[in-house]
Amino acid sequence: MISVHFPVLLVVVPLMAAPVCLLLRRLPTATWVVATAVSWLCLFFAVSLLLRVLDGGPISYLLGNWAAPWGIEYRVDVANAFVLVIVASIGAIITPYTRQSVLRELSPRRIYLFYVMFCLNLSGLLGISVTGDAFNLFVFLEISALSGYALISMGRDRRALTATYRYVVMGTVGATFYVIGLGLLYMMTGTLNMADLAARIPAVSHTRTIHAALAFLTVGIGLKVAMFPLHTWLPNAYTWAPSAVTAFLASTATKVAVYVLVRVFFTIFGKADVFELFPVRDTLMGLAIIAMFAASFVAIYQDNVKRMLAYSSIAQVGYMILGISFATVTGLTGGIIHLFNHALMKCALFLAIGCVFYRVGSLNIRDYAGLGQRMPLTMAAFVTAGLSLIGVPATVGFVSKWYLVQAALERDLWLIAALVVASSLLAVIYIWRVVEIAYFRAPPEGAPAVAEAPVSLLVPTWIMALASVYFGIDATHTVDIAHKAATALLGGGS
Protein backbone atom coordinates (compact mmCIF):
# COMPACT_ATOMS: atom_id res chain seq x y z
CA MET A 1 0.00 0.00 0.00
CA ILE A 2 1.30 3.39 -0.98
CA SER A 3 -0.31 4.96 2.11
CA VAL A 4 2.48 3.43 4.23
CA HIS A 5 4.85 5.86 2.55
CA PHE A 6 2.82 9.02 3.17
CA PRO A 7 5.20 10.36 5.85
CA VAL A 8 8.13 10.43 3.45
CA LEU A 9 6.06 11.42 0.41
CA LEU A 10 5.10 14.59 2.28
CA VAL A 11 8.73 15.63 2.01
CA VAL A 12 9.79 14.00 -1.23
CA VAL A 13 6.93 15.20 -3.44
CA PRO A 14 7.47 18.97 -2.88
CA LEU A 15 11.26 18.44 -2.89
CA MET A 16 11.08 16.84 -6.34
CA ALA A 17 8.58 19.42 -7.54
CA ALA A 18 11.17 22.17 -7.02
CA PRO A 19 13.55 21.02 -9.81
CA VAL A 20 10.50 20.30 -12.01
CA CYS A 21 9.50 23.95 -11.61
CA LEU A 22 13.05 24.92 -12.49
CA LEU A 23 12.85 22.93 -15.73
CA LEU A 24 9.55 24.60 -16.59
CA ARG A 25 11.02 28.08 -16.27
CA ARG A 26 9.77 29.20 -19.67
CA LEU A 27 6.20 28.42 -18.66
CA PRO A 28 5.41 30.38 -15.46
CA THR A 29 1.80 29.18 -15.50
CA ALA A 30 2.94 25.56 -15.57
CA THR A 31 5.12 26.12 -12.48
CA TRP A 32 2.08 27.50 -10.71
CA VAL A 33 0.04 24.44 -11.70
CA VAL A 34 2.78 22.14 -10.37
CA ALA A 35 3.03 24.04 -7.07
CA THR A 36 -0.74 24.04 -6.63
CA ALA A 37 -1.06 20.34 -7.40
CA VAL A 38 1.79 19.51 -5.03
CA SER A 39 0.44 21.58 -2.16
CA TRP A 40 -3.02 19.97 -2.46
CA LEU A 41 -1.44 16.53 -2.66
CA CYS A 42 0.50 17.31 0.53
CA LEU A 43 -2.73 18.38 2.20
CA PHE A 44 -4.23 15.03 1.24
CA PHE A 45 -1.23 13.17 2.72
CA ALA A 46 -1.32 15.26 5.89
CA VAL A 47 -5.04 14.87 6.50
CA SER A 48 -4.96 11.13 5.91
CA LEU A 49 -2.01 10.85 8.31
CA LEU A 50 -3.87 12.83 10.97
CA LEU A 51 -6.94 10.61 10.62
CA ARG A 52 -4.80 7.49 10.87
CA VAL A 53 -2.94 8.78 13.93
CA LEU A 54 -6.17 9.75 15.67
CA ASP A 55 -7.46 6.25 14.94
CA GLY A 56 -4.51 4.01 15.61
CA GLY A 57 -1.84 5.91 17.51
CA PRO A 58 1.63 7.08 16.44
CA ILE A 59 3.07 5.97 13.11
CA SER A 60 6.75 5.19 12.76
CA TYR A 61 8.33 5.18 9.32
CA LEU A 62 11.91 3.95 8.88
CA LEU A 63 13.77 5.62 6.05
CA GLY A 64 15.35 3.01 3.79
CA ASN A 65 14.16 0.45 6.36
CA TRP A 66 17.19 1.13 8.60
CA ALA A 67 16.07 0.39 12.14
CA ALA A 68 15.74 3.37 14.49
CA PRO A 69 17.75 4.71 16.45
CA TRP A 70 20.50 4.14 13.86
CA GLY A 71 18.53 5.01 10.79
CA ILE A 72 16.42 8.12 10.41
CA GLU A 73 12.94 7.62 11.73
CA TYR A 74 9.91 9.65 10.72
CA ARG A 75 7.47 9.60 13.56
CA VAL A 76 3.97 10.97 13.32
CA ASP A 77 1.91 11.46 16.45
CA VAL A 78 -1.10 13.69 17.09
CA ALA A 79 1.01 16.78 17.75
CA ASN A 80 2.99 16.80 14.54
CA ALA A 81 0.15 15.39 12.42
CA PHE A 82 -1.79 18.50 13.49
CA VAL A 83 1.13 20.77 12.57
CA LEU A 84 1.44 18.96 9.21
CA VAL A 85 -2.23 19.63 8.48
CA ILE A 86 -1.82 23.31 9.42
CA VAL A 87 1.20 23.82 7.17
CA ALA A 88 -0.22 21.83 4.26
CA SER A 89 -3.63 23.50 4.37
CA ILE A 90 -2.14 27.00 4.49
CA GLY A 91 0.04 26.05 1.53
CA ALA A 92 -2.88 24.59 -0.40
CA ILE A 93 -5.13 27.59 0.16
CA ILE A 94 -2.45 30.17 -0.58
CA THR A 95 -1.30 28.74 -3.91
CA PRO A 96 -4.41 29.87 -5.85
CA TYR A 97 -3.85 33.33 -4.33
CA THR A 98 -0.20 33.47 -5.40
CA ARG A 99 -0.99 33.38 -9.11
CA GLN A 100 -2.23 36.93 -9.50
CA SER A 101 -0.54 38.37 -6.45
CA VAL A 102 2.88 37.24 -7.66
CA LEU A 103 2.16 38.41 -11.20
CA ARG A 104 1.57 41.88 -9.81
CA GLU A 105 4.49 42.03 -7.36
CA LEU A 106 7.33 40.12 -9.03
CA SER A 107 9.10 40.68 -12.29
CA PRO A 108 7.83 38.05 -14.79
CA ARG A 109 11.20 36.34 -15.21
CA ARG A 110 11.37 35.60 -11.49
CA ILE A 111 7.98 33.92 -11.22
CA TYR A 112 9.25 30.38 -11.80
CA LEU A 113 11.86 30.98 -9.06
CA PHE A 114 9.09 31.91 -6.68
CA TYR A 115 7.46 28.50 -7.18
CA VAL A 116 10.78 26.66 -6.96
CA MET A 117 11.42 28.28 -3.60
CA PHE A 118 7.82 27.80 -2.49
CA CYS A 119 8.05 24.03 -3.09
CA LEU A 120 11.39 23.84 -1.26
CA ASN A 121 10.00 25.82 1.64
CA LEU A 122 6.94 23.60 1.88
CA SER A 123 9.18 20.54 1.80
CA GLY A 124 11.39 21.94 4.56
CA LEU A 125 8.50 22.91 6.82
CA LEU A 126 6.76 19.56 6.40
CA GLY A 127 10.09 17.80 6.94
CA ILE A 128 10.69 19.60 10.24
CA SER A 129 7.26 18.53 11.42
CA VAL A 130 7.42 14.92 10.33
CA THR A 131 10.92 13.87 11.31
CA GLY A 132 11.77 12.00 14.50
CA ASP A 133 15.50 12.58 14.12
CA ALA A 134 16.95 15.70 15.69
CA PHE A 135 19.75 16.23 13.17
CA ASN A 136 17.46 15.58 10.23
CA LEU A 137 15.33 18.33 11.72
CA PHE A 138 18.27 20.74 11.46
CA VAL A 139 18.68 19.95 7.76
CA PHE A 140 15.01 20.67 7.08
CA LEU A 141 15.22 23.77 9.25
CA GLU A 142 17.91 25.09 6.92
CA ILE A 143 16.09 24.01 3.74
CA SER A 144 13.05 25.98 4.84
CA ALA A 145 15.15 28.88 6.10
CA LEU A 146 17.27 29.24 2.95
CA SER A 147 14.26 29.06 0.64
CA GLY A 148 12.48 31.46 2.98
CA TYR A 149 15.35 33.98 2.64
CA ALA A 150 15.12 33.74 -1.14
CA LEU A 151 11.35 34.25 -1.04
CA ILE A 152 11.61 37.33 1.17
CA SER A 153 14.35 38.88 -0.94
CA MET A 154 11.97 38.81 -3.93
CA GLY A 155 10.14 41.85 -2.55
CA ARG A 156 10.19 44.80 -4.92
CA ASP A 157 11.42 47.35 -2.37
CA ARG A 158 15.19 47.41 -1.89
CA ARG A 159 14.66 47.24 1.86
CA ALA A 160 13.63 43.61 1.30
CA LEU A 161 17.30 42.90 0.62
CA THR A 162 18.66 44.34 3.86
CA ALA A 163 15.79 42.75 5.81
CA THR A 164 16.69 39.39 4.28
CA TYR A 165 20.37 39.86 5.06
CA ARG A 166 19.55 40.52 8.70
CA TYR A 167 17.34 37.44 8.73
CA VAL A 168 20.10 35.33 7.13
CA VAL A 169 22.58 36.34 9.82
CA MET A 170 20.20 35.82 12.74
CA GLY A 171 18.64 32.69 11.29
CA THR A 172 22.05 31.11 10.72
CA VAL A 173 23.18 31.97 14.25
CA GLY A 174 19.95 30.38 15.51
CA ALA A 175 20.45 27.22 13.47
CA THR A 176 24.09 26.99 14.54
CA PHE A 177 23.08 27.31 18.19
CA TYR A 178 20.66 24.45 17.60
CA VAL A 179 23.51 22.34 16.17
CA ILE A 180 25.76 23.17 19.14
CA GLY A 181 23.03 22.12 21.55
CA LEU A 182 22.47 18.93 19.60
CA GLY A 183 26.22 18.20 19.56
CA LEU A 184 26.34 18.48 23.33
CA LEU A 185 23.38 16.12 23.63
CA TYR A 186 25.05 13.66 21.27
CA MET A 187 28.23 13.86 23.33
CA MET A 188 26.36 12.65 26.41
CA THR A 189 23.92 10.19 24.88
CA GLY A 190 25.36 9.01 21.58
CA THR A 191 22.03 9.22 19.79
CA LEU A 192 20.10 11.65 17.61
CA ASN A 193 16.74 9.92 17.56
CA MET A 194 14.27 12.00 19.57
CA ALA A 195 12.60 9.07 21.34
CA ASP A 196 15.98 7.56 22.09
CA LEU A 197 17.28 10.90 23.38
CA ALA A 198 14.27 11.15 25.66
CA ALA A 199 15.07 7.73 27.12
CA ARG A 200 18.77 8.43 27.65
CA ILE A 201 18.82 11.99 28.93
CA PRO A 202 17.44 11.33 32.46
CA ALA A 203 20.54 9.28 33.32
CA VAL A 204 22.86 12.20 32.54
CA SER A 205 20.53 15.13 33.18
CA HIS A 206 22.58 16.37 36.14
CA THR A 207 25.64 17.15 33.97
CA ARG A 208 26.67 20.64 32.96
CA THR A 209 26.84 19.49 29.32
CA ILE A 210 23.12 18.70 29.23
CA HIS A 211 22.29 22.02 30.90
CA ALA A 212 24.37 23.89 28.33
CA ALA A 213 22.67 21.88 25.56
CA LEU A 214 19.24 22.94 26.80
CA ALA A 215 20.35 26.57 26.90
CA PHE A 216 21.75 26.47 23.35
CA LEU A 217 18.68 24.71 21.99
CA THR A 218 16.30 27.15 23.66
CA VAL A 219 18.09 30.23 22.37
CA GLY A 220 18.62 28.74 18.90
CA ILE A 221 14.99 27.81 18.44
CA GLY A 222 13.97 31.07 20.11
CA LEU A 223 15.63 32.94 17.27
CA LYS A 224 13.62 30.96 14.73
CA VAL A 225 10.40 31.44 16.70
CA ALA A 226 11.00 35.21 17.00
CA MET A 227 10.58 34.89 20.73
CA PHE A 228 10.76 38.27 22.44
CA PRO A 229 14.27 39.67 22.64
CA LEU A 230 15.27 37.55 19.61
CA HIS A 231 12.56 38.88 17.28
CA THR A 232 14.36 41.77 15.58
CA TRP A 233 14.65 40.06 12.19
CA LEU A 234 10.91 39.60 11.86
CA PRO A 235 9.26 43.02 11.36
CA ASN A 236 11.34 44.10 8.37
CA ALA A 237 11.38 40.68 6.77
CA TYR A 238 7.58 40.41 6.91
CA THR A 239 7.04 44.02 5.84
CA TRP A 240 9.08 43.99 2.65
CA ALA A 241 8.46 40.43 1.46
CA PRO A 242 5.88 39.91 -1.32
CA SER A 243 2.33 39.72 0.12
CA ALA A 244 1.83 36.01 -0.59
CA VAL A 245 5.20 35.19 0.98
CA THR A 246 4.38 37.10 4.16
CA ALA A 247 1.02 35.38 4.45
CA PHE A 248 2.60 31.96 3.97
CA LEU A 249 5.64 32.41 6.21
CA ALA A 250 3.79 34.27 8.96
CA SER A 251 1.32 31.45 9.32
CA THR A 252 3.70 28.51 8.93
CA ALA A 253 7.41 29.20 9.57
CA THR A 254 7.17 30.56 13.12
CA LYS A 255 4.45 28.04 13.97
CA VAL A 256 6.67 25.15 12.95
CA ALA A 257 9.48 26.64 15.05
CA VAL A 258 7.11 26.78 18.04
CA TYR A 259 6.39 23.11 17.39
CA VAL A 260 10.15 22.38 17.49
CA LEU A 261 10.37 24.16 20.86
CA VAL A 262 7.50 21.99 22.15
CA ARG A 263 9.24 18.88 20.84
CA VAL A 264 12.52 19.75 22.55
CA PHE A 265 10.92 20.66 25.86
CA PHE A 266 8.35 17.92 26.17
CA THR A 267 9.70 15.03 24.11
CA ILE A 268 13.49 15.26 24.22
CA PHE A 269 13.67 16.72 27.74
CA GLY A 270 10.28 15.30 28.73
CA LYS A 271 11.53 12.76 31.25
CA ALA A 272 14.49 14.73 32.55
CA ASP A 273 14.26 16.82 35.68
CA VAL A 274 16.24 19.78 34.28
CA PHE A 275 13.24 22.07 34.49
CA GLU A 276 13.16 21.69 38.24
CA LEU A 277 16.78 22.78 38.36
CA PHE A 278 16.48 25.78 36.09
CA PRO A 279 13.76 28.39 35.82
CA VAL A 280 13.59 27.96 32.01
CA ARG A 281 9.81 27.94 32.01
CA ASP A 282 9.45 30.89 34.35
CA THR A 283 11.88 32.85 32.21
CA LEU A 284 9.88 31.98 29.11
CA MET A 285 6.69 33.01 30.85
CA GLY A 286 8.19 36.41 31.68
CA LEU A 287 9.45 36.89 28.13
CA ALA A 288 6.08 35.85 26.73
CA ILE A 289 4.27 38.45 28.84
CA ILE A 290 6.74 41.16 27.80
CA ALA A 291 6.26 40.15 24.15
CA MET A 292 2.47 40.33 24.45
CA PHE A 293 2.63 43.91 25.71
CA ALA A 294 5.76 45.41 24.18
CA ALA A 295 5.10 44.14 20.64
CA SER A 296 1.44 45.17 20.81
CA PHE A 297 2.38 48.66 21.96
CA VAL A 298 4.86 49.00 19.10
CA ALA A 299 2.19 47.72 16.69
CA ILE A 300 -0.15 50.55 17.73
CA TYR A 301 2.34 53.16 16.53
CA GLN A 302 3.04 51.68 13.10
CA ASP A 303 1.87 53.54 10.01
CA ASN A 304 2.71 50.62 7.77
CA VAL A 305 -0.15 48.15 8.10
CA LYS A 306 1.95 45.12 7.22
CA ARG A 307 4.56 46.13 9.77
CA MET A 308 1.81 46.54 12.35
CA LEU A 309 0.66 42.97 11.72
CA ALA A 310 4.26 41.76 11.88
CA TYR A 311 4.63 43.21 15.37
CA SER A 312 1.29 41.70 16.26
CA SER A 313 2.73 38.32 15.20
CA ILE A 314 5.51 38.72 17.77
CA ALA A 315 2.89 39.42 20.42
CA GLN A 316 0.87 36.38 19.33
CA VAL A 317 3.93 34.14 19.48
CA GLY A 318 4.05 35.34 23.10
CA TYR A 319 0.68 33.68 23.76
CA MET A 320 1.94 30.38 22.34
CA ILE A 321 5.11 30.53 24.44
CA LEU A 322 2.96 31.39 27.47
CA GLY A 323 0.88 28.27 26.90
CA ILE A 324 4.04 26.16 26.64
CA SER A 325 5.53 27.71 29.78
CA PHE A 326 2.61 26.56 31.95
CA ALA A 327 3.68 22.95 31.25
CA THR A 328 0.20 21.69 32.12
CA VAL A 329 -2.22 19.90 29.81
CA THR A 330 -4.55 22.90 29.67
CA GLY A 331 -1.70 25.33 29.06
CA LEU A 332 -0.15 23.24 26.32
CA THR A 333 -3.58 22.69 24.77
CA GLY A 334 -3.97 26.48 24.72
CA GLY A 335 -0.55 26.91 23.13
CA ILE A 336 -1.19 24.29 20.43
CA ILE A 337 -4.70 25.51 19.68
CA HIS A 338 -3.40 29.06 19.40
CA LEU A 339 -0.77 27.83 16.98
CA PHE A 340 -3.58 26.65 14.69
CA ASN A 341 -5.86 29.62 15.34
CA HIS A 342 -3.19 32.23 14.85
CA ALA A 343 -2.15 30.59 11.57
CA LEU A 344 -5.73 31.00 10.31
CA MET A 345 -6.31 34.59 11.35
CA LYS A 346 -2.88 35.97 10.57
CA CYS A 347 -3.03 34.31 7.16
CA ALA A 348 -6.43 35.94 6.53
CA LEU A 349 -5.14 39.36 7.66
CA PHE A 350 -1.99 39.25 5.52
CA LEU A 351 -4.00 37.99 2.53
CA ALA A 352 -6.44 40.89 2.95
CA ILE A 353 -3.50 43.31 3.12
CA GLY A 354 -2.21 41.65 -0.05
CA CYS A 355 -5.57 42.30 -1.77
CA VAL A 356 -5.34 45.97 -0.84
CA PHE A 357 -1.76 46.16 -2.05
CA TYR A 358 -2.85 44.53 -5.32
CA ARG A 359 -5.31 47.37 -5.99
CA VAL A 360 -3.91 50.35 -4.12
CA GLY A 361 -0.19 49.57 -4.29
CA SER A 362 0.47 50.91 -0.82
CA LEU A 363 0.97 49.57 2.68
CA ASN A 364 0.53 52.92 4.38
CA ILE A 365 -2.44 53.23 6.69
CA ARG A 366 -3.34 56.66 5.25
CA ASP A 367 -4.03 55.09 1.86
CA TYR A 368 -6.67 52.89 3.47
CA ALA A 369 -9.02 55.87 3.71
CA GLY A 370 -12.42 54.99 2.28
CA LEU A 371 -11.50 51.42 1.43
CA GLY A 372 -14.43 50.16 3.51
CA GLN A 373 -16.74 51.41 0.76
CA ARG A 374 -14.49 50.79 -2.21
CA MET A 375 -13.20 47.32 -1.37
CA PRO A 376 -16.02 46.10 0.91
CA LEU A 377 -15.32 42.37 0.65
CA THR A 378 -11.60 42.70 1.35
CA MET A 379 -12.10 44.98 4.31
CA ALA A 380 -14.91 42.81 5.69
CA ALA A 381 -12.49 39.86 5.65
CA PHE A 382 -9.91 42.04 7.40
CA VAL A 383 -12.41 42.99 10.11
CA THR A 384 -13.53 39.38 10.60
CA ALA A 385 -9.97 38.15 11.05
CA GLY A 386 -9.17 41.23 13.12
CA LEU A 387 -11.99 40.44 15.54
CA SER A 388 -10.55 36.98 15.82
CA LEU A 389 -7.13 38.41 16.60
CA ILE A 390 -8.67 40.44 19.41
CA GLY A 391 -10.39 37.35 20.76
CA VAL A 392 -14.07 38.26 20.43
CA PRO A 393 -16.36 35.34 21.40
CA ALA A 394 -17.39 33.06 18.49
CA THR A 395 -14.01 33.48 16.86
CA VAL A 396 -10.95 31.27 17.15
CA GLY A 397 -9.02 33.91 19.09
CA PHE A 398 -11.52 33.56 21.91
CA VAL A 399 -11.03 29.81 22.10
CA SER A 400 -7.26 30.06 22.52
CA LYS A 401 -7.46 32.85 25.07
CA TRP A 402 -10.11 30.93 27.00
CA TYR A 403 -7.71 28.00 27.40
CA LEU A 404 -4.77 30.23 28.28
CA VAL A 405 -6.77 32.04 30.96
CA GLN A 406 -8.03 28.73 32.29
CA ALA A 407 -4.50 27.34 32.43
CA ALA A 408 -3.37 30.42 34.36
CA LEU A 409 -6.24 30.10 36.83
CA GLU A 410 -5.54 26.39 37.31
CA ARG A 411 -2.16 27.34 38.70
CA ASP A 412 -3.62 30.28 40.65
CA LEU A 413 -1.76 32.81 38.51
CA TRP A 414 -4.48 35.46 38.63
CA LEU A 415 -2.17 38.19 37.50
CA ILE A 416 -1.16 36.26 34.35
CA ALA A 417 -4.82 35.61 33.52
CA ALA A 418 -5.57 39.32 33.89
CA LEU A 419 -2.59 40.21 31.71
CA VAL A 420 -3.78 37.89 28.92
CA VAL A 421 -7.11 39.69 28.88
CA ALA A 422 -5.53 43.14 29.18
CA SER A 423 -3.12 42.53 26.29
CA SER A 424 -6.09 41.63 24.08
CA LEU A 425 -7.29 45.20 24.54
CA LEU A 426 -4.13 46.42 22.83
CA ALA A 427 -5.11 44.39 19.78
CA VAL A 428 -8.42 46.24 19.79
CA ILE A 429 -6.54 49.52 19.44
CA TYR A 430 -4.36 48.64 16.47
CA ILE A 431 -7.10 46.78 14.59
CA TRP A 432 -9.50 49.67 15.26
CA ARG A 433 -7.04 52.18 13.80
CA VAL A 434 -7.28 50.42 10.45
CA VAL A 435 -11.04 49.99 10.69
CA GLU A 436 -11.55 53.66 11.55
CA ILE A 437 -9.52 54.91 8.61
CA ALA A 438 -10.98 52.38 6.17
CA TYR A 439 -14.63 52.92 7.09
CA PHE A 440 -14.99 56.40 8.55
CA ARG A 441 -12.56 58.51 6.62
CA ALA A 442 -13.34 59.68 3.10
CA PRO A 443 -10.72 59.00 0.45
CA PRO A 444 -8.59 62.03 -0.41
CA GLU A 445 -9.76 64.25 -3.28
CA GLY A 446 -8.66 63.03 -6.66
CA ALA A 447 -7.66 59.58 -5.44
CA PRO A 448 -7.75 57.07 -8.31
CA ALA A 449 -10.80 54.81 -8.39
CA VAL A 450 -10.21 51.46 -6.71
CA ALA A 451 -12.09 48.32 -7.61
CA GLU A 452 -12.66 45.24 -5.47
CA ALA A 453 -9.82 42.69 -5.52
CA PRO A 454 -10.04 39.89 -8.12
CA VAL A 455 -11.93 36.72 -7.19
CA SER A 456 -8.81 34.52 -7.11
CA LEU A 457 -7.46 36.71 -4.30
CA LEU A 458 -10.75 37.11 -2.47
CA VAL A 459 -11.65 33.42 -2.27
CA PRO A 460 -8.52 32.29 -0.34
CA THR A 461 -8.79 35.36 1.89
CA TRP A 462 -12.40 34.58 2.73
CA ILE A 463 -11.73 30.87 3.22
CA MET A 464 -9.22 31.83 5.92
CA ALA A 465 -11.47 34.51 7.43
CA LEU A 466 -14.47 32.18 7.56
CA ALA A 467 -12.33 29.36 8.95
CA SER A 468 -11.29 31.67 11.77
CA VAL A 469 -14.98 32.08 12.63
CA TYR A 470 -16.03 28.49 11.95
CA PHE A 471 -13.40 26.95 14.22
CA GLY A 472 -14.36 29.51 16.86
CA ILE A 473 -17.99 28.40 16.87
CA ASP A 474 -17.34 24.68 16.48
CA ALA A 475 -14.04 24.20 18.26
CA THR A 476 -14.71 20.63 19.42
CA HIS A 477 -12.52 18.91 16.82
CA THR A 478 -9.55 21.26 17.02
CA VAL A 479 -9.62 21.43 20.82
CA ASP A 480 -9.95 17.68 20.99
CA ILE A 481 -6.90 17.20 18.76
CA ALA A 482 -4.87 19.80 20.64
CA HIS A 483 -5.86 18.22 23.95
CA LYS A 484 -4.80 14.76 22.75
CA ALA A 485 -1.52 16.19 21.48
CA ALA A 486 -0.85 17.95 24.79
CA THR A 487 -1.67 14.85 26.81
CA ALA A 488 0.63 12.71 24.67
CA LEU A 489 3.47 15.26 24.88
CA LEU A 490 3.22 15.58 28.65
CA GLY A 491 2.83 11.84 29.01
CA GLY A 492 6.50 11.53 28.23
CA GLY A 493 7.25 11.56 24.59
CA SER A 494 5.09 8.87 23.03
Partner 1 sequence: MSFPGLYNYWIVIVLMMAGFYMVIAHGNLIKKVVGLNVFQVSVFVLYISMGKIKGGTAPILEDGFTLYSNPLPSVLILTAIVVGVATTAMALALIVRIRDAYGTIEEDEIDAQEEDS
Residue 239 binds to partner 1 (criterion: CB under 8 A): no
Using the contact rule CB under 8 A, the part of the chain among 176-184, 300-308, 353-361, 478-486 near partner 1 is 176-184
Find, among 307, 299, 222, 212, the residue nearest to 258 by Cα.
222
Residue 114 binds to partner 1 (criterion: CB under 8 A): no
Residue 117 binds to partner 1 (criterion: CB under 8 A): no
Distance CA 267, CA 263 (A): 5
Among 12, 142, 411, 428, binds partner 1 (CB under 8 A): 142
Find, among 319, 322, 313, 282, the residue nearest to 295 by Cα.
313
> CB-wise, 236 or 325, nearer to partner 1?
236
The residues pairing with 304 across neighbouring beta strands, listed in sequence order, are 364
Among 4, 16, 23, 187, binds partner 1 (CB under 8 A): 187
Is the four-CA dihedral 478, 148, 461, 392 of positive or negative sign? positive
Among 168, 227, 260, 389, binds partner 1 (CB under 8 A): 168
Residue 268 binds to partner 1 (criterion: CB under 8 A): no
Report the nearest approach of partner 1 to the CB of residue 475 (Å). Answer: 40
CA-CA distances (angstroms) from residue 488 to 90, 266, 346, 483? Answer: 25, 9, 27, 9
> CB-wise, 77 or 133, nearer to partner 1?
133
Strand locations in 272-408 (E): none
Report the nearest approach of partner 1 to the CB of residue 186 (Å). Answer: 7
Torsion (CA) 458, 83, 278, 142 in degrees, nearest 10: -80
Residue 162 binds to partner 1 (criterion: CB under 8 A): yes
Report the nearest approach of partner 1 to the CB of residue 164 (Å). Answer: 6
The neighbour count for residue 174, using CB atoms within 10 Å, is: 22
Among 54, 62, 139, 215, binds partner 1 (CB under 8 A): 139
Residue 336 binds to partner 1 (criterion: CB under 8 A): no
Compute CA 128 distance to the chain's CA centroid, rounded to the nearest angstrom: 12
Among 10, 137, 150, 245, binds partner 1 (CB under 8 A): 150
Distance CA 102, CA 245 (A): 9
DSSP codes joined into one string, 439-472: HHSPPPTTPPP-PPPPHHHHHHHHHHHHHHHHHH
Residue 44 binds to partner 1 (criterion: CB under 8 A): no
Q: 234 near 58, Cβ under 8 Å?
A: no
Using the contact rule CB under 8 A, the part of the chain among 165-173, 292-300, 338-346, 354-362 near partner 1 is 165-173
Report the nearest approach of partner 1 to the CB of residue 175 (Å). Answer: 8
Residues that bind partner 1 (CB under 8 A): 135, 138-139, 142, 146, 149-150, 153, 158-159, 161-162, 164-165, 168-169, 172-173, 175-176, 179-180, 183, 186-187, 190
